[in-house]
Amino acid sequence: MTTTGRSAHHPDHPDAPDPVRIDHSDGAHPARPAAIPVPADRAAADPAVRPRLGYGTNGLTDLRLDDALGLLADLGYDGVGLTLDHMHLDPLAPTWPPAPPGSPGAWASWGSASPSRPAPATSSTPAANTARPSSTRTPRTRAARVRLLLRAVRVAADLGAHAVHCFSGTLPADTPPDEAWKRLASSLTPVLTAAEAARVPLAVEPEPGHLLATLGDFHHLRGLLGDPAPALLGLTLDIGHCQCLEPLPPADCVRAAAPWVHHVQIEDMRRGVHEHLPFGDGEIDFPPVLAALTELTAAGFPGLTVVELPRHSHAGPELARTSLSFLRPESSSC
């Protein structure tokens, strides 16, 4: 199963009102040169090669988890983005691992596909208000958030997930940027150790308004951590965030980030405004994006592309249906 990294209480940007307007500057850490594009010959030759699609449970919080999984399976999704939070799967439950809500099944059932639920997806993440090590001032609270990320590594391993998804958190007004970067690197070091032991890579998401906001910032973090292998420290690439503030178009971001991508999130968005929108309500040109994601899949990307609409749970079931039809038109007859 995957997760998206937002909580129901802070569904999009935990420290600012909606919409969040973003400075278009490139930031202090320039991006590395774009990587060589992944080969497209297999994608062109095999129309069956296509991105594996999922839907985030943070956009289905009005449903019990078993009902959400059944809905996504019936619609034809390949997996599910599971936010670890109190609504669906509480990582701080007194007994761990808990039984799936509303189901007597054993924990092991979460790690395998069945006719009634989607196949396991790619990542496992704590909720946004707990997964922000760089924005925490005191060692005690930073340690608590590190413990939660370590729990997420265990959950990901139990689920057979492909990555643990997290992000940095915002920069407090009274904290120098260099100090915040040191905190982030120090906090993630034990998480990387645990992830390597569990054979579950860490996928950090550049988040508009956060300390680590851009692809360039991601490479800055990798440098601070000694440039770990991409198989250990990789990237969650959010297509809307690319539209929001990256200098490259979203399709080019996919190709530039390809060597590091472990997880993809997708929604519509406008330039300079961090607001997750249903497809067609923003400014993204999706055919080139879907072509780039198909190339990524053809090159061996095993993860999911997860629809992330955390502020639309009131219309979640219908948006799950229309989103799949938009991204995969051949499924519209389902």
> Beta-carbon neighbour count of residue 101 at 10 Å?
13
27 burial (CB, 10 Å; 0-12 / 13-18 / 19+) is: middle
Contact (Cβ atoms closer than 8 angstroms) between residue 313 and residue 60: yes
- Quote the pLDDT of residue 172: 82
What is the distance between the alpha carbons of residues 98 and 92, in angstroms, rounded to a whole number?
A: 10
Give residues with Cβ within 8 angstroms of 298, minimum separation 6. 38, 39, 40, 41, 42, 43, 46, 49
Lowest mean pLDDT among 29-38, 164-173, 275-284: 29-38
DSSP tag of 163: B
- Quote the pLDDT of residue 151: 85
The b/e string for 233-254 (b: 16+ C-beta within 10 A; e otherwise) is: bbbbbbbbbbbbbbeeebbbbb
pLDDT tens for 58-86 read: 899 899 888 888 898 889 998 888 888 77
pLDDT tens for 174-186 read: 889 999 999 999 9
